[in-house]
């Protein structure tokens, strides 16, 4: 019907066989509102006769294409065009299920992140057809379980039958926040064990966000909140270490150490992050403090030796650079002196 959203893949050639445009080359489908004059006249006529998944080839006379004006620089005036149009890329149904899951957990059900993002914007009983680029689908890995190759475009038809809205933080009382914080922490730990570090960070961040500004707690609740936040920050630091996101490692270690200034894991992981970004002196200080507090920590002993070796190497490099600069300065002084003497000699002559 006029106004319907249409999505196609297409390739266009001139009659001499030269290709002037292709959505496939761009790896990006093209969408337009049917019958609204958003495309050349031939498309508004032909696409309306096509079925989903159909592939057709059309020859467009100039009056049904770009006419006497053409479309410089690729399409000359009065050009007849040849198009190949496909109404949908692939028509194999690879997944058909009725599921119930928490938003943000789609990956656990073999669903791509694009489905998760779509669901967050849908209303109850709404139906949607979603076209996903590889970055929102199964990416460069694909999904062997569904025989989806790497870098595949996907199409999902979704119907949101019902949902239960999760409580916002301000809608929860302290006990609910403590309970949900503990649940999120456990989920994060499970993701971490599975190597899903990004997903783990989302869960640990929930724990922190629910509890970090909570006030009016009893002594027992304060202790529970502190322990949960401390564990969440330490676990976030570990996740970010795995992801090589060192600034965030430092941020979470510092927050953990605000809660427990002598925390062994907080000091050690901050030392690791500092070592990774070549802050060797600060890294050494962290590992020394770990050993001062926990003398039996073998990993800290090993990292301390590495830090000290890096500091020595850095000093050697700095010494070489200093010596080179001094030699260069002496050479320049001698050169200047020789030039001055030569000029004086020329004047005397």
Q: Single out the catalytic residue among 44, 64, 66, 116.
A: 66
Other CB atoms within a 10 A radius of the CB of residue 75 amount to 18
List the single range of 154-163, 214-223, 285-294, 321-330 with lowest mean pLDDT: 321-330
Q: Single out the catalytic residue among 2, 10, 28, 268.
A: 10
Environment class of residue 111 by beta-carbon count within 10 Å: exposed (0-12), middle (13-18) or buried (19+)? buried
Q: Region 328-348: what's the mean pLDDT? A: 76
**20 catalytic residue (yes or no):** yes
**10 catalytic residue (yes or no):** yes
Rounded Cα–Cα distance for residues 306 and 134 (Å): 41
Q: Is the pLDDT of residue 349 over 60?
A: no
Give, rounded to a whole angstrom, the gap between the first and last alpha carbons of the chain: 100
Instruction: Tell me the whole-structure pTM to 2 decimals.
Output: 0.58
Mind listing the domains of the chain with CATH numbers?
Answer: 4-64 (3.10.50.40), 81-162 (3.10.50.40), 174-277 (1.25.40.10)
Rounded Cα–Cα distance for residues 152 and 140 (Å): 8
Structure confidence at residue 91 (pLDDT):
60
**311 catalytic residue (yes or no):** no
Rounded Cα–Cα distance for residues 313 and 330 (Å): 26
Q: Is the pLDDT of residue 321 over 60?
A: yes
Q: How confident is the model at residue 52 (pLDDT cuts 50, 70, 90)?
A: confident
111-156 pLDDT, tens digit each: 999 998 999 888 888 888 888 999 999 999 999 999 999 999 898 8
Structure confidence at residue 89 (pLDDT):
40
**21 catalytic residue (yes or no):** yes
List the single range of 43-47, 258-262, 286-290 with lowest mean pLDDT: 43-47
CB 75 within 8 A of CB 20: yes
Q: Single out the catalytic residue among 44, 64, 75, 83.
A: 83
Share of the chain above pLDDT 90, in %: 56
């Amino acid at each position: 019907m006029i106004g319907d959203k249409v999505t196609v893949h297409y390739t266009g050639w001139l009659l001499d066989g030269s290709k002037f445009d292709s959505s496939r080359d761009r790896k990006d489908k093209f969408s337009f509102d049917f019958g609204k004059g958003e495309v050349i006249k031939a498309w508004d006529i032909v696409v309306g006769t096509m079925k989903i998944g159909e592939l057709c080839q059309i020859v467009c006379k100039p009056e049904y294409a770009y006419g006497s004006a053409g479309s410089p620089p690729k399409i000359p005036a009065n050009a007849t065009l040849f198009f190949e149009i496909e109404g949908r890329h692939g028509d194999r149904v690879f997944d058909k299920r009725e599921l119930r899951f928490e938003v943000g957990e789609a990956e656990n059900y073999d669903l791509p992140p694009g489905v998760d993002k779509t669901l967050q914007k849908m209303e109850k009983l709404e139906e949607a057809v979603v076209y996903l680029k590889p970055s929102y689908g199964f990416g460069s890995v694909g999904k062997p379980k569904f025989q989806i190759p790497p870098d595949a475009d996907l199409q999902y038809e979704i119907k949101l039958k019902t949902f239960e809205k999760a409580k916002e933080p301000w809608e929860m009382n302290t006990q609910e926040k403590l309970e949900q914080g503990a649940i999120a922490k456990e989920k994060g730990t499970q993701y971490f064990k599975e190597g899903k570090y990004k997903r783990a960070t989302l869960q640990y961040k929930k724990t922190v966000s629910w509890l970090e500004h909570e006030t009016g707690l009893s002594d027992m609740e304060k202790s529970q909140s502190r322990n949960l936040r401390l564990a969440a920050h330490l676990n976030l630091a570990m996740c970010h270490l795995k992801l090589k996101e060192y600034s965030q490692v430092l941020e979470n270690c510092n927050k953990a150490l605000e809660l427990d200034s002598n925390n062994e894991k907080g000091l050690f992981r901050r030392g690791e992050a500092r070592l990774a970004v070549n802050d060797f002196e600060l890294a050494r200080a962290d590992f020394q403090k770990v050993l001062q507090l926990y003398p039996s920590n073998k990993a800290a002993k090993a990292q301390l030796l590495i830090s000290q070796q890096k500091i020595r190497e850095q000093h050697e490099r700095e010494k070489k650079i200093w010596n080179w600069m001094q030699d260069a300065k002496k050479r320049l002084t001698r050169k200047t002196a020789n030039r001055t003497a030569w000029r004086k000699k020329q004047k005397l002559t």
